[in-house]
Amino acid sequence: MSKNEIATIDHVFLESVSDVLLQARKNAKTAVNLTMVYAYYEIGRIIVEEEQRGERRAAYGQQLLKGLSDYLTQNFGKGFSVGNLKNIRQFYKVYSADQIGETVFSQFKDLPSINTGRKFYLSWSHYLKLMRIEDVDERHFYEIEAVKNDWSLRELERQFDSALYHRILLSTDKDKIQRLSVEGQIIEKSSDLVKDPYVLEFLGLEDKSEYSENELETRLINNLQSFLLELGTGYTFVARQKRFTFNEEHFRVDLVFYNRMLRCFVLFDLKIGSLKHQDLGQMQMYVNYYDRYEKQEDENPTIGVLLCQDKDDSMVELTLPKDSNIFASKYQLYLPDKKLLQDKLGEWVKECDADKCTK
């Protein structure tokens, strides 16, 4: 059949068949990757049990791994160096004592499994990264989010390097903290969508360089995939410089997104320098306009986010009503210092323990 003849067939029909095949190939690849993860877990178990039965000297473990490496390399080829076998052994040690709730992964119930007492959903490369995260709650959070959002290894590494877990901890409600390691990021109300700060290191801008709001916006659009990853779960891009007219005056919203989790528009206005109370008033107008003229009756109220270099929290709190759907968040052009975030989190936990937590 020629291309012209194929062109006469309904496009939706062709795409639907194509989607089935693409999903089947993806599932097959996932199944193969998971089978190897379970195989490495089982190999790790056998190594650990053999070491425990053998002489209790470090030299025995080294000899055991060296001999196993030589044997596996001769019979199965590359991939079984002593270093890799140590990783496999460590993988078993970490995850044999590690439990995680299965309800968040119900959509993967048909993937391959063995009787390990622990199910896996990601590639071996993902688990090489995850098993090095010492905090169990933090490790569970990144595993859940990687599965839910289909993160590649690169995306997982970026979210870890940007301290996503600690940033969400600092911005979430006190009663949701324990749920993060069981359910991942929880999206139930407008504030759950907003981070403070947003990390935009992928833009390639130096922190002290001079740039305009237009350049910042252009770079965000040029790096839209990375920006969507930083925004979080459920975002889709709608428009840039979205114009609307009211009383014969034209206004433009810098960036418009829609969030599928809360079923609402999310408007972003970019500000270079310190945030002013006039900026908050302008965003309030944008939000009001979208609520009255753009959103459907079955959709939730619009959220407005002012993304700025600096802000005065007291001024923001005084300007906005307590039940406002408008948020002011700082952005930074470099990866955060995790130690500083951990220290800040520790201070916040102490305040909560003293019943001074206002979140």
Please give the pLDDT value at position 105. Answer: 55
Closest-CA residue to 96 (of 131, 61, 124): 131
- Report residue 1 as tokens: 């059949």
**So what's the pLDDT on residue 158?**
96
DSSP conformation letters of 48-102: HHHHHHS-SSHHHHHHHHHHHHHHHHHHH-SS--HHHHHHHHHHHHHHTT----S
C-alpha distances in Å from residue 162, one per residue of 90, 190, 329? 25, 22, 16
**Which residues of the chain register pLDDT less than 50?**
107, 358-359
How much is the pLDDT for 359? Answer: 46
Which pLDDT does position 226 carry in this prediction? 96
Helix (H, G, I), strand (E, B) or coil at 298: coil
Task: Look at the pTM and tell me if it is higher than 0.85.
Answer: no
The CATH code of domain 198-335 reads: 3.40.1350.10
The residues of the chain that CATH labels 3.40.1350.10 are: 198-335
| pLDDT of amino acid 94 | 95
| C-alpha to C-alpha distances, 342 to 130, 168, 282, nearest whole angstrom | 19, 12, 35
List, in sequence order, every residue forming a beta bridge with 267; answer none if it has no partner. 256, 304
Place of tokens 């993860």: 37
Strand ranges in the chain using DSSP code E only, listed in sequence order:
198-199, 235-246, 249-259, 264-274, 303-310, 326-332
